[in-house]
Amino acid sequence: MASPSELKRGVVSDVSATADDRVVPRWEWRAFERSFVLPPSAAEVERFDAPVERDETYLLSLLSPHSVKIRDGRLDIKRLERSEAHGLELWRPVLRAAFPVEAGALAAGCDAWGVPGPAGDTPAHSLADLVRNVVVPHRQLRIVTLTKRRLPITVAGCRGERAQITVGGHHWNTVVFEDADPGRVLAALAELKLDPAANENFPRALKRILGLPDHASSPAAPRAG
């Protein structure tokens, strides 16, 4: 299992794999609305696969901007590394681990939440253990389960998706584009006449939708000089 410092450098650890895989961070843009109507020209550049519907559970921290969720029986962690003036955000996947999760994965989760990890030797945690022993005792953590129905799209060579999420009994629509090249994301937004400054990531949007306080600060772009 990779150490927390290795995880921060971008090593994705997967307990079902025999070796760690180095990943490339991606620039992302996302927006949430009650209804999302894209311009008619978008129909000519979208490529839809079959829609996919599944449940996801976000383990939100009111202290942190990072993303920690449970999807397909795995703990999935992404860290927000930078926010740029053009509105895009740079996200780095740092962990995808099947349950039960070992100490390194648990430490990575606590670090992403900005909360202290369990003291001493920590046995492997099932999902129930993680919720009972780590999430519930911390008042700054929240459990949010949602249903997502997603359709992959491609615009201007940039991959993304349109999705409807159901959370708290309410429906929201979201559009996202992501790529290792920020220029591709900006080109997709320009083609669809979407405002780069309207970017709102998933953890921040869920806090807003559910009326949760958000004490997190997003990493800023490094200063030139």
String of DSSP letters for the chain: ---HHHHHTTEEB-TTSSS-EE---EEEEEEEESS----GGGGGT------EEEEEEEEEETT---EEEEETTEEEEEEEEEE-TTS-EEEEEEEEEESSB-HHHHHHHHHHHTSPPPPS----B-HHHHIIIIITT-TTEEEEEEEEEEEEEEETTEEEEEEEEEETTEEEEEEEEEESSHHHHHHHHHHHT--GGG---HHHHHHHHTT------PPBPPPP-
- Answer whether the bond into residue 100 is a cis peptide, omega within 30°: yes
Q: Where are the domains positioned within the chain?
A: 4-209
Task: Report, as an integer, the average pLDDT of 192-202.
Answer: 94
Pairing of strands 52-61, 26-33: unpaired
- Residue-averaged pLDDT of the chain: 83
pLDDT confidence of residue 19: 35
Reported as a pLDDT band with limits 50, 70 and 90, residue 218 is low
| Close Cβ partners of 174 (under 8 Å, ≥ 6 residues apart) | 30, 31, 32, 33, 36, 162, 163, 164, 165, 205
Binning pLDDT at 50, 70 and 90, where does residue 223 land?
very low
Higher pLDDT, 17 or 161: 161
pLDDT at 22: 61
pLDDT for 122 equals 76
Percent of the residues in the chain that have a pLDDT greater than 90, as a whole number: 65
- Give the residue, 42 or 143, on which the prediction is more confident: 143
* Tens of pLDDT, residues 94-122: 999 999 999 999 999 999 999 998 776 77
pLDDT on residue 225? 42
- pLDDT-derived band at 139 (thresholds 50, 70, 90) equals very high
Give the pLDDT confidence of 14-56 residue by residue, as tens digits. Answer: 433 323 456 789 999 999 988 766 654 454 445 555 678 899 9
Q: What is the reported pLDDT for 169?
A: 86
Q: What torsion do the CA atoms of 192, 198, 203, 209 make, to the nearest 10 degrees?
A: -100
CATH class of 4-209: mainly beta
Question: Is the model's pLDDT at 7 over the cut of 60?
Answer: no
